[in-house]
Structure 1
Amino acid sequence: MFPLTTYLTDLGPLEIGFPLIVLLTLILRVTKHSHLSKKESKDSSSKAQTLVFDPLGFRNITPCKELPLHQRPDWPRYWKPGKFQMTMALRKLDINNWFKYDELFDSEHKQKVTMATAPDAENYVDYLDGIDDAVVELLDTVVTYVTKRYPNMVRVDDEYVYIDHLQEKYRIREPYDLHPLAVAGLLIMDDLYVLKKGHKDRYTLRGAFLACPSGWRLQQRIGWQLHQIHDPVPMWKEKLRKSMERFFVNLQPSKAIQRNNLFIQPVGQIFHVVPFEENLKYESIDQVHIRTELQSLTRLPRSEASIFTVRTYLTPMSDLRHEPEQLEALWDHTRNFPPDTANYKCHHLWGDVFEQFCQDVLGKRDTEIASNEEKTKPTVPTSQCPAGF
């Protein structure tokens, strides 16, 4: 073996040409191959980053071309007749059905602004961890969603998010005008809850924007663990606690879920902190309101905080006189409540007027339902009927 320089020195000018061409060709091929490899690697990395960047599936959002502010509330009628079943009834989140607007947005938003800026604002929106990665990511997520889903209603630049028809804007970068959790809550019609994993993988409610409470106050439950919040729910501890806690631990950003919840309450205010059991027994169907909730649970990809959302719909029970099939299904649903569930749902307050209303609207008399009534009539309540989330 000898060096290439020695070999080239021993060759004449014509003889040198051929080896040089071969050498240059090899160098070009290696360089080109290296360039392509880098480009392919860059492309692969870009594709991988795109996949990682969209774990919540925002690429599947369909922009709403019209302002949704003239739409009537599409409140869920999800109840079913028949035997009562204690399940979480989870389904995959429809990304285009996450945050919705309707004709009630302006009036509810005005109330929420008052809450967020009140001297006692901590009763409506509070967060135990100051301004951390979780609430900053939550605000970014909400802003990204609403501006993509409703581009003609909400817009954004580097520092502000704008609700043009209300002539409002909110800072989305430091220094914030309001806490990021408050801004996120003002942009949507849902209540927001932030839960974070703590000791022994148990999730704790670290904060919330609570504009639509169902008989409880934020300061009563902030800092509570998941089981403390749900333990009052009949059969939850025995049938659902372990599976729900396991579900929270294993939840992935790409596996967000939705569910519905039902309560029947005594007043028509969406903000109701007085426990329902403190109300007197109802004397008229006009006092009875259906409270339905569209709930979702999502894991944020960066901070790994869990975000629980609740869109609350409140409807006079008397409206169901125009939907006899739904009324009959709800009647059968409530008559199948186990005693503990009936007490928890405060059936002893509204049950009698609801029964009479159903009989009158549906044309069914006591003789037709007497046999079922003895089987399903709730016992006298032995405890309060707290409303959980």
Structure 2
Amino acid sequence: MRTFGVEEELLLVDERSGVPRAIAPAILRKAGEAPIRGFTLEAEMQQEMIEVISRPCTERDDLLHCMRDGRRTADALAREQGGRAIALAASPLSVRPHVTVKERYKAIEDGYAGMARATLECGFHVHTGIDSPDEGVAVLDRIRVWLPLFLALSANSAFREGEDTGYASFRFVVWHHWPTAGPNDVFGSVEAYRALERALVDTGAILDTGMLYFDARLSHRHDTVETRIADVCLTAEDGATLACLIRALVDHAADEWRRGVPPPDVPTPVIRLASWQAARHGVTDRLVDPTTGRPCAARDVIARMIDTVRPELRRNGDEDFVECGVADILRRGTGSDRLRAVHQETGSIDAVIAAAAAATIGESRG
């Protein structure tokens, strides 16, 4: 089986007020005092967030164990600083973030000014192993049409500035202010992919290839395809469900490439609109069916994707886990849906943040 691993960006907030706090440096200093197994903690651009990175795994249960441990450790260390580490893709409360003291981040802040200082969004990145860059680009060309569905399934950023934005993923709206964010055309070859990388860096508008915030890209640090479109999921179980589904999609795409099946011929603007539709409604409305380009009930489009990769899910031993996980998301909603229900019940943003903190580490809200 292919290896896979995840990077989860968690929001750091004050334990009492729920306002984001710049405690990542203190957490990382404390984390460095004792060995951590199965995951690592790393700084992100803003000191009000932290990244939990799992080790590469082949077995689903191992990945889920790493994710649970990583979340609980980050939260325990945050509590020592009077905070919480919570899986929310955007802060429900206003804050002006503090940029991490690092030369690269300072350069991004200088170059992007207010946009960089205002960005505090938490994503969910899945790294799936590949055999070669050629296979990786072939995978990117074939999974691009399905990626909006992962945004819909992960949507977890409904609240911002103390209000309901009306979006399931408002992170999508904010994140796409970055000029390299979003889907790409079919590349066709590694040479074409590398040529685009060079052309974008050569503009001088971005520092390096690390600022290529594509929905999915080749990793420059690992032999992986990195999917980046999703919000950080409210629960580790939802995240593991998506990771298993993405791995199966990568398997399926690589197999099609080896058999000479061409990538779907879907214009990039259609994929961009499909992503917007997913960000607006999550799984509560229609999504764009990538096989037709037409709107269809979210449940039906997602079922079509699962059917497409069912042989790969079965081969990886993930079929039942993914079917149950997706059914659970469709039944009770995404993170945004669950937290909206809390807000409707209580009328309180504080209650929303408390419920998110509990769900992050697998506790019951009540």
Q: TM-score range by the shorter chain?
A: under 0.3
TM-score, normalising length: structure 2: 0.24
TM-score by length of 1: 0.23
Higher RCO structure (Cα 8 Å, ≥6 apart): 2
Larger Rg: 1
